[in-house]
Amino acid sequence: MSRKIIFVMLALFVLFTGIQFAAAYTPCDTQVNDTHGKLLACVTLEGVREHQAAFQAIADANGGIRTSGTPGYDASANYVANKMAAAGYVVTVQPFDFNTFILLGPSTLAQTAPNSVVYVEGPDYRPMTQSEPGNVTAAVTAVDLQLGLGNNSTSGCEAADFAGFPVGNIALLQRGACTFGLKAENAAAAGASGVIIFNQGNAAGRFDVINGTLGAGYAGGIPVMFANYYLGEAWATTPGLVIHLMANVFRGVATTYNVLAESPGGDPNKVIMVGAHLDSVNAGPGIQDNGSGSAAILEVAEQMHLVTPRNKLRFAWWGAEESGLVGSTYYVNNLTPEEQSQIALYLNFDMIGSPNHVFFIYDGDDSDGVGAGPGPEGSAQIEALFEFFYAKQGIPFKGTDFSGRSDYGPFIARGIPSGGLFTGAEGIKTAAEAALWGGTAGIAYDPCYHQACDTYDNVNTYALDVNSDAVAFATLRWAKAYTLPGSGQRGSNLRSLAAPVYDHHDHEELFEQ
């Protein structure tokens, strides 16, 4: 969104809301954006996309990734820290060590006998996440395979599957019934020098290569590749098969960082935290996941740099989220009891511009959920504020569970009211959702989720624009509020929002200029 059209937008805003502006528009970099009218006009898609472009350029200069523990992540953290320091925030860069898995470069999978065949990384195979590095050439032994549609493969799930396994061979295993990590550990215990696990091939969607993980606790000590079903089926019937397998990966302890930026003003006993993870996966630059949330909160923070909030603002860019919420967990676990009690609420923004988007709100009261349960006391009021925002814009919205897959998890575990927005990951868009929000039913909300194609172009700019405004709206609302969530009042509908969240001190028109 160009700043040149802000005057037109503001005029339309007046037309549709009936709000009268008392003063002429002031340039965004010099005015105090302390009302929603001013702030939402200054938080622009153009500004958010500028930060996403910077993240893309950083990835391009660092092997195509921004994974925690790599130079691409370090450069991303430096970029954010410098922007926040320039905007006048008190910046803290919090280092921590973590167990990580990093792709160092291309790996190799090739048949050396009975014929010479070199396979293609990506469509044919890929190293499994948390594989050990290794370079092995050995005969291949198939283990308890069950081929064909409708199969019920349990290949490698029991130690007994490996009875008589030739020590030093590569184990050929099939997906199904138990974790990849267990299969690989059973193979290692039987003396395998490496493992290839191929997709199950039992039903549609289980034929191609996936970005599977052995789990952070994998203890097999040998390299593991994942291959498509078609290759696995062919290898299973190839006598004298010898494979060369080289996993070019790092698995071990690395240092990475959280970046925290705090407003100089505001009540330190009432801290409003706004967070997004900054790291990408190994597969690509992560400009949607989560360059969308990271860029949006960065733009909002910059446009609020002259605001003196009633409640202290603390923006957070988390490291190592893709390794299991490591950065946010480290942060929360290292708070003193007093510091924890000062955090009034946490807002999380992870993937807010998915190409095939739905406008999801984290379900604070569990009214829309399927079993994850409500958030801590006060989370319903956070949900209600986002419901209010979308309703005011005439945009449909939908609840989504606190599934534990993003950085709200450690805050919820400590009883801190939490909420946020999400536009979908690998889940499949339904026909009903396509009717409400457009897009394509039957494919993922983000078809490039955790893939190399999660680039600057992998963004729905309409969804990102709307949600960047929603981030700004909620951040300023809570920064200025006298009454904060967690006071024992619950309820997530729009009627409940009007009474418990805002008291008689706080009657600013929600979109007042």
Domain at 125, CATH number: 3.50.30.30
* Residue pair 173/155 in contact by the 8 Å Cβ criterion: yes
Give residue-wise pLDDT tens across range 74-122.
Answer: 999 999 999 999 999 999 999 999 988 888 889 999 999 999 999 999 9
Nearest to 135 by CA among 249, 258, 18: 249
Give residue-wise pLDDT tens across range 364-403.
Answer: 988 876 667 789 999 999 999 999 999 999 999 999 989 8
The span from the CA of 346 to the CA of 340, in Å, is: 11
The domain total for the chain is 2
Last residue of a domain, one of 247, 269, 302: 247
Tell me the residue type at 453: C
Instruction: Say which of 262, 302, 321, 387 is annotated catalytic.
Output: 321
Give residue-wise pLDDT tens across range 313-348.
Answer: 999 999 999 988 999 999 999 999 999 999 999 999
For residues 237 and 260, state if they share a domain.
no
Structural domain of 152: 106-247
The span from the CA of 495 to the CA of 507, in Å, is: 15
Quick check: 279 pLDDT over 90?
yes
Beta bridge partners of 129: 213
What pLDDT is recorded for position 495? 33
For residues 167 and 78, state if they share a domain.
no
Quick check: 124 pLDDT over 60?
yes
What pLDDT is recorded for position 127? 95
- pTM to 2 decimals? 0.79
The span from the CA of 387 to the CA of 492, in Å, is: 8
Last residue of a domain, one of 247, 270, 287: 247
Q: Where are the alpha helices (DSSP H) in 309-378?
A: 326-333, 337-342
For residues 383 and 429, state if they share a domain.
yes
Kind plus residue range of the DSSP H or E element containing 379: helix 379-393
For residues 323 and 437, state if they share a domain.
yes
Q: What percent of the chain has pLDDT over 70?
A: 89
For residues 175 and 32, state if they share a domain.
no
Nearest to 55 by CA among 358, 287, 258: 287
* Residue pair 224/180 in contact by the 8 Å Cβ criterion: yes
The span from the CA of 105 to the CA of 117, in Å, is: 20
* Residue pair 257/137 in contact by the 8 Å Cβ criterion: no
For residues 213 and 151, state if they share a domain.
yes
Residue 387 lies in a domain: yes
For residues 193 and 239, state if they share a domain.
yes
SS3 letters across 62-89: CCCCCCCCCHHHHHHHHHHHHHHHHCCC
Q: Please confirm, yes or no, whether 321 is among the known catalytic residues.
A: yes
Residue 165 lies in a domain: yes
Last residue of a domain, one of 247, 273, 308: 247
| Other beta carbons within 10 Å of 265 | 14
